[in-house]
């Protein structure tokens, strides 16, 4: 399986900058899940995105160069 870039196919550096800013992390994560067709994951991102998911996104982006996937399927 090919490695997919996060946040609309942007580079790692741009995705990292977007992940650092809480509001853009939540909005971009929500829109990314909607564009992938994962509506439940998008709704969970909005409900949990301001605290739990934001921290997980930041940690995952720094350590594994990918944002956190709530529902990986």
Splitting the chain (73 residues) into consecutive groups of 10 residues, what average pLDDT does each group show?
Answer: 65 86 86 88 82 84 83 68
Q: Residue 1 falls within a domain, yes or no?
A: no
What per-residue confidence (pLDDT) applies to 2?
41
The answer to whether 46 and 53 are in contact (CB under 8 A) is: no
Number of domains in the chain: 1
> What would the two tokens of residue 10 be?
């942007």
Task: Identify the domain containing residue 55 by its residue range.
Answer: 6-64
Q: Residue 13 falls within a domain, yes or no?
A: yes
Q: Residue 70 falls within a domain, yes or no?
A: no
Count the Cβ atoms, other than its own, within 10 Å of residue 3.
Answer: 6
The model carries a pTM of 0.76
């Amino acid at each position: 399986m090919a490695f997919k870039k996060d946040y609309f196919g942007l580079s790692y550096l741009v995705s990292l900058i977007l992940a650092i800013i809480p509001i853009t992390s939540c909005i971009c994560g929500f829109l990314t899940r909607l564009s992938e067709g994962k509506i439940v994951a998008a709704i969970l991102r909005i409900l949990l995105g301001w605290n739990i998911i934001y921290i997980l996104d930041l940690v995952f982006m720094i350590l594994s160069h990918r944002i956190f996937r709530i529902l990986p399927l």
